[in-house]
Amino acid sequence: MRKMQHVPVLLDEALKYLNVQPGGVYVDATLGLAGHSSAIAKRLGAKGRLICFDRDPEAMEAAKARLEEVRAEIGSEMPELVFEPRAFSEASSLIEPGSLDGLLADFGVSSLQLDEAHRGFSFRSEGPLDMRMDTRSGETAEQVVNQEDENELADLIYEFGEERRSRRIARAIVRARPITTTAELARVISAAAPSMKGDKIHPATRTFQALRIRVNDELGEIRTLLKSAPSLLKPGGRLVLISFHSLEDRLVKDAFREAGRDKIFEVLTKKPVVAGEQEEMRNPRSRSAKLRAARKI
């Protein structure tokens, strides 16, 4: 596998709120290409333990290679690493209650997924309509696009993509079936709902987001994690979550508000933490990132 370039989003801010303690036990629920995990590992020390979840087999292999580079760099100070090649929603069945000093999740799509055409996440290059984070199982975006009826397709584009022109797009998709590639789908969407004056995003952006969320049950995964995280953390343990669109951020915000009201968490971020100007210039994908953090009481 070729070496991937990866810039972790809001790295300094995530480390600050995670408050990594040497010898602690931490979870990176979204290992990706190990950008955040590499930095956490360097702070944990030999007595620490880092549990890494990712349901994407390609990302897991790339991350292991990156963490071996960290091991070569810090030697005997490398913490124990535990790799869990599965969805983070399964954490509660694998981790002892009350054992974690901190849990970090970055809900964004990884560079590996976006930049590799064969994964089918991006409309900017020709590739199969896949979009599965776990390529070993589950329904593909191609199956959703070609098998859902028009009303169901319109509803999911509206709900998960917050796309106002969802019915027009769904009608065009049904008429153009079968659709088998990302570029083909992007052309159909662009013809049905072209960019309006002032639009800063590609016409297919929201529909692709909706399909990806549906294929991977992303919001269901987040809901499960939010429900289980309090029981996994020690008193004083930190929960740090990075969202990339309003649907994710709303789930986190509402869960934190409720947990704060019930005296389960102390919310550490009154407003979401966002990238600074320098990070946005260095990494344009950080522009939509919002970090929220809480400490278990």
Residue ranges for the known binding site for S-adenosyl-L-methionine are 34-36, 54, 88, 106, 113
Residue numbers belonging to the annotated binding site = 34-36, 54, 88, 106, 113
Rounded CA-CA distance 40/163 in Å is 37
Hey, what's the torsion of the CAs at 181, 53, 22, 67, to 10 degrees? -50
Q: Residue 136 CA to chain centroid, in angstroms?
A: 18
Q: With CA atoms as reference, report the closest residue to 26 among 291, 220, 240.
A: 240
Question: Hunting for tokens 């584009």 — which residue is that?
Answer: 157
Give the 3-state DSSP-derived string for 211-269, with helices as H, strands as E and coil as C.
HHHHHHCHHHHHHHHHHHHHHHEEEEEEEEEEECCHHHHHHHHHHHHHHHHCCCEEECC
3-class state of residue 43 by DSSP: helix
Buried b (16+ CB within 10 A) or exposed e, 188-199: bbbebbeeeeee
Rounded CA-CA distance 172/149 in Å is 12
Burial class, 99, CB count within 10 angstroms (exposed 0-12 / middle 13-18 / buried 19+): middle
Any idea how long the chain is? 297
Rounded CA-CA distance 210/71 in Å is 38
Rounded CA-CA distance 152/171 in Å is 11
Token pair for 54? 């990712």
